[in-house]
Structure 1
Amino acid sequence: MRFESVLPVRGFQSYKGQRHLPGLWWSSTVGGHIGYESWLERDHVMLLDFDPSVTGLSSQPFWLFWAAENGKGISHAPDYFARRQDGSAIVVDCRPADRRKPRDWVKFDAARRACDLLGWDFRLVGTPDPIVVGNVRWLAGYRHPRHRLEPVVSTLRDVFAEPRLLMDGAGLAGDPIAVLPVLFHLLWQHELAVDLSVPMHAASVVSPEVG
């Protein structure tokens, strides 16, 4: 079963007064929408979408069913399944560290054991680095292929063949108003690189992507 291609096993409910904000993330990796149940999940599906090693992605991909020691049935649907370029897989559960209750740990541990049996990686993730998220969220605004415009793409590759300040390079490539969306798209695509551990700004150094 190619779990990166399945439909969610349960729906994303929306109702008045709910604490979490569900929605759909348009993924440039799969060319379609991936559901999320909270802003935390939205941030992590965005980061998976940004990960160049990920080639497939789905939300709520399957149910796990098992029996507790008392015989009571337990079920759990992990939040995300991701396929890597090398064929390996990642199963992701999202929960803030301060909201992981004992009954949640039972489910997360079961998911980890199931992944171990299949040779998959399991990630239990919490709140991601806010600076990285802020930078990637900005680049995500330019993830759609419509921002890939020639000859600007080729010009930017030439301009940033050697590391150069972001706005300096954009100015050398043409009118920054026209050039910057293409530049941000290339950064999203990892065809150019910038340090995302600090806030991006006009003097951020953009360089060719390595490897």
Structure 2
Amino acid sequence: MDRAFGLPLERGWPVRRLPSVRGGAHVGWWYSVRARRLVAYESAIERDALMMLDRDRQVVGLSSQPMRLCWRLLPGSGIYADQITHVPDVFVRYVSGAGVVLNCRRRAARSRQAEALLPATCAMAGWGYAVCVELDHVMASTLRWLADYRHSRYCSASLRQRVLNSCEQPRRLTELAAVDDPMRTLPAVYHLLFYGELQVDLRQPLSYASVVMRARS
């Protein structure tokens, strides 16, 4: 594992096929602006984790189901299995060069085996380890909608600056729409909301009455 640190796992493809689910619910491909390619997901929680990583400008690459880890445990280890295998959900590379392994689980369904083994295994490779759980329902719904505007084509540099300058003081979304042609301005506002350059209360449903303000560094 000490030789795994420099492996470009963020460029890899899934080590297993996507499961076959009737209707294709919560299984599919997410276009990641950080990876600049499609990334597979196997659950709604995993899809939302990919979405949140797209919001993070420190992320420079990511992949899903990036590797298969195998452990052979000695008798008396406390886990009754000769061999344990596990495929983590996501591998993330940050601009600092750091790598982080993510597992996406429901709050009540985390794997006890993975919780016991993965942190130490990741530390041996020089990676971080974290567990992602489901987002608040309202926040998740709003961010999924805003994510449709995550591509840079929705916000030119000049329009970005004009919108940000208009938000030095809190303003309602309907007021921001009048900064320029609403057909151009609103997509730019949604783009900046997704990336956090503009802020809104994500605990409340987004509407034209929502109060928007510029993020403070």
Moved more, 56-65 or 91-100: 91-100
5 Å-filtered alignment, 1:114-153, equals 114-149=121-156, 151-153=158-160
Quick one: distance in 2 between partners of 1:158 and 1:17? Answer: 45
Residue type of the alignment partner of 1:6: G
CA drift of 1:86 comes to 2.4
Q: 1:68 to 1:150 in 2, by over 3 A?
A: closer
CA drift of 1:40 comes to 2.0
Per-residue CA deviations over 1:124-161 (Å, capped at 9, x if unaligned) read 22222212212211210111222123643232122123
Quick one: distance in 1 between partners of 2:143 and 2:23? Answer: 29
Gaps of 5+ in 1: none
CA drift of 1:201 comes to 2.3
Asked whether the 8 Å contact 1:143–1:188 carries over to 2, the reply is yes
Determine the structure 2 residue equivalent to 1:14.
20
Residue type of the alignment partner of 2:43: S
5 Å-filtered alignment, 1:15-164, equals 16=22, 21-70=26-75, 72-100=82-110, 104-149=111-156, 151-164=158-171
2:38 is paired with a residue whose SS is strand
Q: TM-score, normalised by structure 1?
A: 0.86
Quick one: distance in 1 between partners of 2:157 and 2:57? Answer: 22
Give the one of 183, 190, 197 matched to 2:196.
190
User: RMSD between aligned alpha carbons?
Assistant: 2.2
Q: 1:206 to 1:15 in 2, by over 3 A?
A: closer
CA drift of 1:17 comes to 7.4
Quick one: distance in 2 between partners of 1:143 and 1:17? Answer: 26
Moved more, 189-198 or 78-87: 189-198
Q: 1:115 to 1:154 in 2, by over 3 A?
A: same
Per-residue CA deviations over 1:8-36 (Å, capped at 9, x if unaligned) read 22221325478x63100011112211100
Quick one: distance in 1 between partners of 2:144 and 2:23? Answer: 26
Moved over 4 A (4+): 15-18
Asked whether the 8 Å contact 1:9–1:62 carries over to 2, the reply is yes
CA drift of 1:209 comes to 2.5
Indicate whether 1:175 and 2:181 are aligned.
Answer: yes
Determine the structure 2 residue equivalent to 1:207.
213
Asked whether the 8 Å contact 1:27–1:33 carries over to 2, the reply is yes
1:99 is paired with a residue whose SS is coil
Q: TM-score, normalised by structure 2?
A: 0.83
Residue type of the alignment partner of 1:133: A
Q: 1:210 to 1:120 in 2, by over 3 A?
A: farther
CA drift of 1:118 comes to 3.2
Residue type of the alignment partner of 2:200: V
Asked whether the 8 Å contact 1:166–1:204 carries over to 2, the reply is yes
How many pairs are equivalent? 206
